Structure 1
Amino acid sequence: MKRLCCLLPILATLFVSMAHAEETSKPNLLFLFADDQSYEAVGYRGMTQVKTPNIDRLAARSLSFTHAYNQGSWSGAVCVASRTMLNTGRFVWRANDVYKTAEAERSAGRFWSEHLKKAGYQTYMTGKWHVPANAAKAFDVTGHVRGGMPKQTPEGYNRPQSRDDKTWQPWDPKFGGFWEGGKHWSEVVGDEAVDFLQTAANDPRPFFMYVAFNAPHDPRQSPKEFVDMYPADEVEVPGDFLPEYPEHKSIGCPPSLRDENLAPFPRTKYAVQVNRQEYFAIITHMDEQIGRILKALEESGKADNTYVFFTADHGLACGHHGLMGKQNSFDHSIRVPLLVSGPGIKPGTNPAPVYLQDIMPTTLQLAGIAQPKHVDFHSLMPLIEGKEKTSYDAIYNCYLDLQRSITADGFKLMVYPKADCVKLFDLAKDPSETKDLSADPSYAEKRQQLFATLQDWQAKVGDQLKLDPKLLD
């Protein structure tokens, strides 16, 4: 008995040491999240004039998923749906079902951060949350937790009216918005993430960082030096520019929709240039903060055991197709950048269609957590490791009961129930989605195939909207 008593402290110490070793062997997870950043609005894609040197350096050591999508939204605030899907792991309409009970979901341990907490991770969050659950309870440590968007002002809408319209300037702090509180919100996020990494450098626990910028959401404000990088007259207007999108009212994008009200109707090329000038400027300003965070990660000594993810909650039209917002199913609004870097990740590109919310189960797999039954999205690891070539047979997208789309086999079918029409695009030949093939009889079979796939996906995601096949006639 005496020998056993002597052994007990030793065994206890051994068990603690084993648990500590298991924790420290787990990889760290850094999630960098933008708001409203289209897949084309990153320098490494070479599709626009935007400058993102720090994201580009991250891309050089990452696997880039070139066809990453958001699944859609049940509200005009597309970011709410995107972030609810991300944190619950559920497909769009199932995420909608738990939206009102999100705090109960968190309390039950079914949120992204809660799974990682139980696996021994120290969880951290700063920036935009916009999920109906208590962020302070969802994470061990939080910085500034922001709402949906910085407060807009009347001067920020319906502009510019002309080349002489200088009423609103993105660097002027008197308009509040990103400047509310005295320091630009992107800089606050950068400061707080750097501070956490400096603390984590001396903490043996693995960490999960959820770093969510409000940028580049409107009001697209940044210091003048960043705006001056993009003289408005030199900003390229998208080739698919339209003064108005023909079905804008019937698909839920009228002038009264807040996002669409940012620029005058009908659109002018100059108004689009100014909006894109400010869009690129706030992205470059955010990129500078991301560079600071990545530098702090290197200085912490934790970089070699850290997986870094970068994406956005959805894209943005910002002048494409006569639209300004994200409440549409064109690629510029539903496609996002998605980068993954870390131990064993081979840099390159992967064209497999994925959802940005796939990042959630990917991190769970990396942390050694079995995927919970309620998580609908798929881990990216089989694609990263080359074990699979695809995760999804098609990409489904929705917006309210006004729009549905399905992307498969290089084609996209858009369905507008209220406008009583469909649109069909050959994405390989027409990536800008400007040549509607829906009336071409030689594509009748393709329309039928995609419509059937769309209906299959409606069942997968719990979509109750009945679509009339006569729409194809």
Structure 2
Amino acid sequence: MKNIFLFILAIVLLSCTKSKNKTPEKQQSNIVFIFTDDQSYSTVHALGNKEIITPTMDSFVEAGTTFTHAYNMGSWSGAVCAASRAMMNTGRTVWRANKFRKNWTKKDSLELSWSKLMASQGYETYMTGKWHVDAPAAAIFDNTVHIRPGMPKDAWKGRKNFDAPLPNGYNRPLNENDNSWSPYDTSKGGFWEGGKHWSEVVKDDAIEFINQAKTKDTPFFMYLAFNAPHDPRQAPKEYVDMYPLESISTPKSFLPEYPYRNSIKNGDYLRDEMLAPMPRTEYAIKVHTQEYYASITHVDAQIGKIVEALKKSGKMDNTYIIFSADHGLAMGRHGFMGKQNLYDHSIRPPMIILGPDIPKNRKVDADVYLQDIMATSLELSGIEKPAYVEFNSFLDLAKAERNESHYDAIYGAYLKAQRMIRKDNFKLLVYPEINKVRLYNLKNDPEELNDIADNPIHQEKIKSLFKDLIQLQKELDDPLDLSKVYESLF
């Protein structure tokens, strides 16, 4: 009997020891994706622009890892943001995303989306703000509020044909006496539609969800998509007043008109380019920049309030924040206003990640794609990346486990009118309609001021990059054949 008692006691003690030493399961991390619209990489104070005021974004730079060279791959339409978001939510590169988006009405296709992948791992998914993707947001996210279009409807209201008079807010200011538009005049509609600025609506929506989520153990994935600083670039007067015109400089690459604009689908009837008079004037660019900066500072303040709500919720220590935008914006650089070109100012957004184990105040120069965010969030969430997701997680780069880019070269496209390859600190632009190439040494000329394509010593570099571009086209199912352009040049 004594032996039986000792045997049972030993089993109980062993069981207690195992229970005591058992490692608790790791709690899933929350993912908060904060997305602005039309925000260039050069619009964050902590990243070098001393004219702009961005305290929240600056705090992100200090608290996390910044990718200084993040790129949007391009677009099949003038609405570059639509293509950018389609790639982001499908994981597919530009031309395959274009094909896939046409099938998004099918339920099976919806299950392949970013949000559905997160939900499959137990995440509660939430979306508010600008969607601009063919699939219905409500069919992809568990919770949706205030789903917005690409831009306010009344911003292009009444423009039934290209020869009709332009709506208020376009082709201005014509001179210093042109007061036809005010970014803080709520009667202009736009982002003031509904009575509250859309950036503030997104902030309020996000905080409401956070206050509900703080009482739950379920991990959450938040997709917070601001329309700002897309035009019409509106903000309260106090933000506009932060930027007197005399404090705003003209961009180094300012041009009254880009010499090849009509051959690369940037002509008079491209909506973005209609915002300011042609040829561009320094005064008009400063006014638009004033409104652009005010809009960014205003959205920065809303993001700050969201972060404060996360901190108060007690969830911040187990939350990753990824901040970026769908592409950049020219704002007078090279004579452009919009994003329908392949210069860095128009294809590079800011990109910052912060979280529990992300190095602080670190900058990574390795090239990444904006759409790598999807794959990164999957890795953070413990989800195996599906084969159809073509972009790569940059988590290893953020944590300094890897130094080199996952890509040999960065590819860019706009319609069938422009192609780009960035490799080894050089950028080659190809304009097929006029058999024109432009070459920039990005190491020596980051503002892309000096086209060196006509210098004979660079002809071999152009040939090499052109061949690499054609190879990339094949890999990415690019429908444009550049072989005849290559033959005509070489």
Using the TM superposition, give the Cα deviation of residue 106 of structure 1 relative to its aligned residue in structure 2, in angstroms: 6.3
CA shift, 1:107, in A, is 4.8
**Which amino acid in 2 is paired with 1:363?**
S
Q: What secondary structure sits across from 1:374 in the alignment?
A: coil
TM-superposed CA distance for 1:139, in Å, is: 0.7
Task: Judge conservation of contact 2:101–2:135 (CA < 8 Å) in 1.
Answer: no
Q: In structure 2, which of residues 66, 69, 84 is the aligned counterpart of residue 67 of structure 1?
A: 69
Question: 1:386 aligned to 393, 396, 400, which one?
Answer: 400
Distance 2:170 2:358 in 1: 43
Candidates 356, 380, 383, aligned match of 1:366? 380
The residue that corresponds to 2:35 in the other structure is 33
Deviates more, 1:339-348 or 1:85-94: 339-348
- Kindly, what percent of the aligned residue pairs are identical? 53
- Structure 2 counterpart SS, 1:325: coil
Alignment pair present for 1:308 and 2:321: yes
TM-score, length of structure 1 as denominator length: 0.94
Unaligned stretches of 5+ in structure 2? 1-23, 157-166
Look up the match of 1:188: 201
2:142 aligned residue (140, 143, 161)? 140
SS in 2 for 1:139: coil
Aligned to 1:100: 102
Q: Which residue does the alignment assign to 2:461? A: 446
Conserved 8 A contact 2:110-2:135 = no
How much has 1:141 moved relative to structure 2? 0.8
What SS does the corresponding residue of 1:449 show, helix, strand or coil? helix
How many Å apart are 1:456 and its aligned residue? 1.5
| Residue type of the alignment partner of 1:207 | F
Give the superposition deviation at 1:384.
2.2
Q: Distance in 2 between matches of 1:291 and 1:145?
A: 21
Instruction: Report what 2:178 is aligned to.
Output: 165
How far apart, CA to CA, are the structure 1 residues paired with 2:108 and 2:87?
13
Per-residue Cα deviation, 1:312-337 (whole angstroms, up to 9, x for no partner) = 00000011011000000000000111
Comparing 396-405 with 46-55, which one deviates more in the overlay? 46-55
1:179 — aligned with what?
192
The match for 2:486 is: 469
Q: CA deviation at 1:46?
A: 1.6
Cα distance between partner residues in 1 of 2:126 and 2:108? 15
Counting matched residue pairs gives 452
Task: Say which SS state the counterpart of residue 418 (structure 1) adopts.
Answer: helix
Structure 2 distance, partners of 1:315, 1:469, is 29
Query: Structure 2 matches for 1:118-267, cutoff 5 A?
Result: 118-151=120-153, 152=155, 154-267=167-280
Q: Distance in 2 between matches of 1:203 and 1:456?
A: 49
User: Which residue is 2:81 aligned to?
Assistant: 79
Q: Secondary structure at the match of 2:433?
A: coil
- Which residue of the partner structure matches residue 325 of structure 1? 338
Aligned-residue offset at 1:230: 0.7
1:293 and 2:310 are equivalent in the alignment:
no
Deviation at 1:304, TM superposition (A): 0.6
**Alignment counterpart, residue 91 of structure 2, candidates 68, 89, 92:** 89
1:417 and 2:427 aligned: no
1:248–1:58 CA distance, 2 compared to 1 (3 A) = same
CA 1:431–1:105 in structure 2 vs 1: closer, same or farther (change >3 Å)? farther
Q: CA deviation at 1:427?
A: 0.5
| 1:458 counterpart residue number | 473
- The Cα shift of 1:194 comes to 0.8
Cα distance in 2 for residues equivalent to 1:26 and 1:434: 47
Preserved CA contact (<8 Å) 1:394 1:407 = yes
Counterpart of 1:372 in structure 2: which amino acid? P
SS at match of 1:114: helix
Unpaired runs of at least 5, structure 1: 1-20
TM-score, length basis structure 2: 0.91
Query: Separation in 2 of the partners of 1:105 and 1:328?
Result: 35
Q: Which amino acid aligns with 1:189?
A: V
State the alpha-carbon separation in 2 of the partners of residues 107 and 134 from structure 1.
12
Cα deviation for residue 103 of structure 1 reads 3.0
> Aligned to 1:100, what secondary structure does the other structure show?
helix
2:46 paired residue among 41, 44, 47: 44
Q: Could you tell me how far apart the structure 1 residues matched to 2:488 and 2:445 are?
A: 23
Separation in structure 1 between the aligned mates of residue 227 and residue 42 of structure 2, nearest angstrom: 18
What SS does the aligned partner of 2:238 have?
A: helix
Residues 163 and 270, structure 1, Cα contact 8 Å, conserved in 2: yes
Contact 1:40 1:48 in 2 (8 A): no
Q: Which residue of 2 aligns with 1:114?
A: 116
Note the alpha carbon deviations across 1:28-83, whole angstroms, 9 max, x for none. Answer: 00000000000001111123511110110111011000000000000000000000
Q: Is the CA contact (8 Å cut-off) linking 1:71 and 1:82 kept in structure 2? A: yes
Secondary structure at the residue paired with 1:424?
A: strand
State the alpha-carbon separation in 2 of the partners of residues 134 and 323 from structure 1: 32
* Partner AA of 1:88 in structure 2: T
Q: Distance in 2 between matches of 1:426 and 1:105?
A: 47
> Which whole-Å deviations, capped at 9, do the CAs of 1:226-280 have from their partners, x for residues lacking one?
1111112331110111110000110111121000000001110000000100000
Greater shift, 377-386 or 280-289, is seen at: 377-386
In 2, Cα distance between equivalents of 1:108 and 1:321 = 40
